[in-house]
């Protein structure tokens, strides 16, 4: 639950984030139409573990025609129009973890998909400018969702009123979550059926922007949310990832990892662009 990290700890976080950047570049290198999600995942895993990474199971890859899948690879072969998500929820170096998220697109996307990608990417970029000691954590969260509001995706940035994928029913009671069959030729060629857990509510995955990053297996010391009125302090390490999911329509999960410095911040995952990686198709 530690909030402020020492220079030695920050060096480990930095190395873990650099492993992600190297591995992301390897994944991009092999990503092309006809390649499977297995191969992209394998390229990422080999690149980071060969250089000191300590786990090959701390991240997800999702690829389909909507950009909404997030899980383990299942044999999908990339096609023009596909939108992929490399959600690195844990790459570990000497016990310290890093987290980022990137999107990659194969050829032309729908107008709705492009709008969602732009809103999410713009949110992280706008928020980054506020990172410095003394900034309210609430202000980081709210700045990120301004682009959602401008795009007509949300009406406000407040966690207590924001629609999100796993929100309860209006009365606070349970809401049915569908386990829905989604046709997928590559999955069915292996004798399997693809069953997606489809959120009942379109919106962000959670009603917040991000959270602290720490030791492997540790708990979050803080969340970046509208209800957090704490101020940023030097040595805080966190991820900011903007997310959106509309089942079988459009999705995005994109973000960077930061450490607060004495006069601003260091983007620990800056070595790969936040923008959607475009693959010719």
Q: Could you give phi then psi for residue 16, rounded to 5 degrees? A: -60, -40
Residue in this structure with the two tokens 């096609």, named with its chain if needed:
79
Per-residue pLDDT of 150-188, as tens digits, reads 999 999 999 999 999 989 998 989 988 888 888 889 989
CA–CA separation, 134 vs 230, rounded Å? 9
- Taking only the tens place, the pLDDT of each residue in 110-123 is 999 999 999 999 99
Q: What value does the mean pLDDT of the chain take? A: 94
- CATH value of 7-279 in 3.30.2130.10, 3.90.230.10, 3.90.1300.10, 3.40.50.2000: 3.90.230.10
Per-residue 3-state assignment (H helix, E strand, C coil) for 139-178: HHHHHHHHHHHHCCCCCCCCCCCCCCCCCCCCCCCCCCCE
In the chain, domain spans:
7-279
Q: Give, as one character, the DSSP assignment of residue 220.
A: P
Kindly tell me if the per-residue pLDDT of 72 is higher than 80. Answer: yes
Compute CA 159 distance to the chain's CA centroid, rounded to the nearest angstrom.
18
Question: 242 by DSSP, 3-state: which?
Answer: strand
pTM of the model: 0.95
Measured torsion, CA atoms of residues 13, 207, 105, 42, in degrees rounded to the nearest 10: 40
């Amino acid at each position: 639950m530690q909030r402020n990290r020492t220079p030695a700890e920050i060096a480990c976080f930095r190395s873990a984030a650099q492993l992600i950047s190297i591995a992301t570049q390897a994944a991009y290198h092999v990503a092309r139409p006809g390649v499977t999600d297995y191969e992209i995942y394998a390229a990422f895993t080999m690149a980071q573990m060969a250089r000191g990474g300590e786990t090959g199971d701390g991240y997800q890859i999702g690829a389909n025609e909507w950009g909404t899948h997030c899980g383990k690879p299942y044999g999908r072969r990339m096609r023009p129009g596909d939108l992929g998500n490399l959600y690195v929820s844990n790459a570990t170096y000497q016990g310290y973890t890093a987290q980022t998220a990137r999107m990659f697109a194969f050829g032309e996307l729908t107008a709705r998909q492009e709008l969602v990608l732009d809103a999410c990417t713009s949110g992280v970029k706008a928020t980054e400018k506020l990172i410095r000691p003394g900034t309210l954590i609430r202000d980081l969260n709210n700045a990120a969702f301004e682009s959602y509001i401008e795009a007509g995706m949300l009406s406000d940035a407040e966690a207590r009123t924001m629609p999100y994928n796993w929100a309860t029913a209006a009365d606070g009671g349970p809401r049915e979550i569908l386990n829905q069959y989604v046709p997928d030729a590559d999955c069915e060629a292996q004798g399997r059926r693809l069953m997606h857990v489809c959120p009942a509510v379109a919106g962000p995955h959670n009603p917040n922007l991000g959270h602290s990053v720490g030791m492997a297996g540790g708990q979050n010391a803080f969340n970046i949310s509208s209800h957090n009125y704490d101020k940023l302090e030097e040595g805080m390490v966190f991820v900011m990832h903007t997310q959106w999911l509309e089942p079988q329509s459009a999705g995005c999960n994109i973000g960077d990892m930061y450490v607060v410095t004495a006069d601003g911040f260091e983007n620990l995952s800056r070595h790969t662009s936040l923008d959607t990686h475009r693959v010719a198709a």
